[in-house]
Chain A
């Protein structure tokens, strides 16, 4: 038994040590830095300033806008993705016995495999107000050109659109798996009972989808919280502060201004927020699991 324990520790140790180093060390270091005025490019500027960085952050309008935008982006993207994913998943379920449908499906999910930088870049080319194909098509259709990423009214919507394009396939795949696991007989029984489509969705499909969807949502919430690549190559947070998100804000402070003290305070706040979100979602899921089982 003791031998077993030693083997177990041996197997686990590298991973645990690695993860401790990856999570505890940055946290402690960030906490320390966040109480200083340290700036990498201005080494003469230092000194302990307590919680000033935090109070400055909390009262900073731009940081608050960044949090709001992050929330709007996450909620809107995920809601739209869920709706699109549900319908497409049902479509693929319906044709799942057609030969070749798996190839169509694989092509459909390509966007989610794509490098996020690439999706940001190719959309910024397509949506370019003057040279882009999107506005050209609009003009051909007799519509007024749309400013897309280049106006404060439309930039966040455009980023959400890119996000939805890339990630709907992910939720679609999860839902597809959930739907495919529903035994045929349940549908047949429902048909015998004369259930309409809404009743089928509500009483047969929803229960099977609930868990998949919840886990999918967790992943998507986390992804949206750390969203950086698309913003970095399309708008850098602008115009105005229309697409400013927490990652971009922290990035600019850290690697644009090299205010590592202030930037670390932002990092710590982001970490706290991410943990709260994760805990809440996790509690939610565990609760749900408890109900199901």
Chain B
């Protein structure tokens, strides 16, 4: 009986392993293609493993596209910081203060997240242009922060609600002001939850395309926009696309492994009230 159970489990592990490898085969294929030369890309039948560890594609990208990578990093970091700065106090207020129509306010905040970016595209483009922030990192950050606030506030509120309210009261009795309660107690205690908020905001900013396409042209162009240019109507450079894709996803893969606990927690606690 026991042996059979073990065997069954072993089979399941193998199945899971096979499915997982199949699931990421496209990533492996892309990784391999990043090392190919132009001729290897055009070889029919396609070659799985390139003849040599050709780094020319990576060199070409770092040579010419470093600026765009820097933009992506700066915009991601800046937007994430901005989101936390605005969302955390708001979430704290929604957690600790009584309020009329709180449910409605919360729902309204969340509903702004439902807005498809395309629905606001023209006004945002014209507005950003008007205040002179078109094609600047600040302009992109300004908009990214706005698009991330609803979800961030919602998630941060969920996490803060799990803190015992008595701690706040005790701190107030001890003479802490509300901002002190927020900074010294609420934030440190919910640091895990806030990390989740930060991770999801950063992911959004790092991955975003549509807004970046029309908010930037040259100076603030992000790396996601650059990636779309490798596969144009007039010129398709698969080998650069593959290398670029690898550069784009390496930080994500690292982040996923480092923070997998938070990702699962974020999705389950942020999105699911258990």
The reply to whether A267 and B121 contact each other, CB–CB distance below 8 Å, is yes
The 8 Å CB contact of A215, one of B45, B214, B271, is B271
Q: Which residue of A lies closest to B226 (CB)?
A: A117
The reply to whether A226 and B89 contact each other, CB–CB distance below 8 Å, is no
* A16: chain B residues within 8 A (beta carbon): 90, 109
Interface size class of A (residues with CB under 8 A): 35 or more
The reply to whether B121 and A254 contact each other, CB–CB distance below 8 Å, is yes
Residues of A78-95 at the interface with B, using a CB-CB cut-off of 8 Å, are: 88, 91-92, 94-95
| Cα-based distance from A127 to B90 in the complex (angstroms) | 46
Chain A 11-23 interface 0/1 with B at a Cβ cutoff of 8 Å (1 = within):
1101110110111
The reply to whether A88 and B238 contact each other, CB–CB distance below 8 Å, is no
| Cα-based distance from A169 to B92 in the complex (angstroms) | 31
The 8 Å CB contact of B19, one of A21, A108, A110, A121, is A108
| Cα-based distance from A106 to B99 in the complex (angstroms) | 41
The reply to whether B245 and A91 contact each other, CB–CB distance below 8 Å, is no
The reply to whether B267 and A15 contact each other, CB–CB distance below 8 Å, is no
Stretch binding the partner chain, chosen from A43-51, A53-61, A171-179, A196-204? A171-179
Residue A136 is within 8 A (CB to CB) of chain B in the complex: yes
Residue B66 is within 8 A (CB to CB) of chain A in the complex: no
The reply to whether B118 and A247 contact each other, CB–CB distance below 8 Å, is yes
Residue B54 is within 8 A (CB to CB) of chain A in the complex: no
A14-B89, A23-B115 known; A255 vs B256 contact (CB < 8 Å) = no
Q: Looking at chain B's contact residues, is the secondary structure mostly helix, strand, loop, or mixed?
A: helix
Interface centre among A5, A8, A267 (most CB of B within 10 A): A8
The reply to whether A117 and B228 contact each other, CB–CB distance below 8 Å, is yes
The reply to whether B26 and A126 contact each other, CB–CB distance below 8 Å, is yes
The reply to whether A181 and B274 contact each other, CB–CB distance below 8 Å, is yes
A107-B20, A121-B231 known; A131 vs B238 contact (CB < 8 Å) = yes
The reply to whether A106 and B23 contact each other, CB–CB distance below 8 Å, is no
The 8 Å CB contact of B119, one of A5, A91, A270, is A270
The 8 Å CB contact of B209, one of A105, A211, A215, A232, is A232
A107-B24, A115-B224 known; A92 vs B272 contact (CB < 8 Å) = no
Count the B residues whose beta carbon is within 8 Å of the partner chain — how many?
89
Stretch binding the partner chain, chosen from B7-15, B55-63, B189-197? B7-15
| Cα-based distance from A177 to B207 in the complex (angstroms) | 25
The reply to whether A125 and B238 contact each other, CB–CB distance below 8 Å, is yes
The reply to whether A271 and B238 contact each other, CB–CB distance below 8 Å, is no
* B255: chain A residues within 8 A (beta carbon): 113
* A94: chain B residues within 8 A (beta carbon): 9, 12
* B120: chain A residues within 8 A (beta carbon): 22-23, 26-27, 30, 267
Q: Which residue of B lies closest to A225 (CB)?
A: B116
Chain B 1-29 interface 0/1 with A at a Cβ cutoff of 8 Å (1 = within):
00000000100110111011001101101
Chain A 151-169 interface 0/1 with B at a Cβ cutoff of 8 Å (1 = within):
0000000000000010001
Residue A147 is within 8 A (CB to CB) of chain B in the complex: no
B127 to chain A, nearest CB (A): 7
| Cα-based distance from A222 to B210 in the complex (angstroms) | 15
The reply to whether A233 and B23 contact each other, CB–CB distance below 8 Å, is no
Chain B 86-100 interface 0/1 with A at a Cβ cutoff of 8 Å (1 = within):
110110111001010
A114-B252, A121-B227, A122-B29 known; A219 vs B118 contact (CB < 8 Å) = no
The 8 Å CB contact of A110, one of B24, B213, B267, is B24
The 8 Å CB contact of B97, one of A8, A126, A136, A270, is A8
Interface centre among B112, B122, B213, B238 (most CB of A within 10 A): B122
Residue A251 is within 8 A (CB to CB) of chain B in the complex: yes
Chain B 117-151 interface 0/1 with A at a Cβ cutoff of 8 Å (1 = within):
11111111011000000000000000101110110
Residues of A1-43 at the interface with B, using a CB-CB cut-off of 8 Å, are: 4-5, 7-8, 10-12, 14-16, 18-19, 21-23, 25-27, 29-30, 33
The reply to whether A133 and B46 contact each other, CB–CB distance below 8 Å, is yes
The reply to whether B209 and A116 contact each other, CB–CB distance below 8 Å, is yes
A8-B97, A115-B224, A131-B44 known; A178 vs B272 contact (CB < 8 Å) = yes
The reply to whether A174 and B268 contact each other, CB–CB distance below 8 Å, is yes
| Cα-based distance from A33 to B210 in the complex (angstroms) | 21
A235 to chain B, nearest CB (A): 12
| Cα-based distance from A119 to B249 in the complex (angstroms) | 10
* A11: chain B residues within 8 A (beta carbon): 89-90, 92-93, 178, 182
* A8: chain B residues within 8 A (beta carbon): 93, 97, 99
| A–B complex contacts, Cβ < 8 Å, 7 sampled | A110-B256, A111-B23, A174-B267, A225-B116, A232-B228, A268-B119, A275-B114
Q: Which 9 A-B pairs have the closest CB atoms?
A: A26-B120, A15-B90, A11-B93, A177-B268, A29-B123, A22-B146, A11-B89, A26-B123, A226-B116
Q: Which residues of B contact A (CB under 8 A)?
A: 9, 12-13, 15-17, 19-20, 23-24, 26-27, 29-30, 33, 41-42, 44-46, 86-87, 89-90, 92-94, 97, 99, 107, 109, 111-124, 126-127, 143, 145-147, 149-150, 153, 178-179, 182, 203, 206-207, 209-210, 213-214, 224, 227-228, 230-231, 238, 241-242, 245, 248-249, 252-253, 255-257, 260, 263-264, 267-268, 271-274
Instruction: List 5 extra interface pairs beyond A228-B209, A229-B209, A233-B228, CB under 8 A.
Output: A15-B109, A22-B120, A88-B19, A125-B33, A275-B114
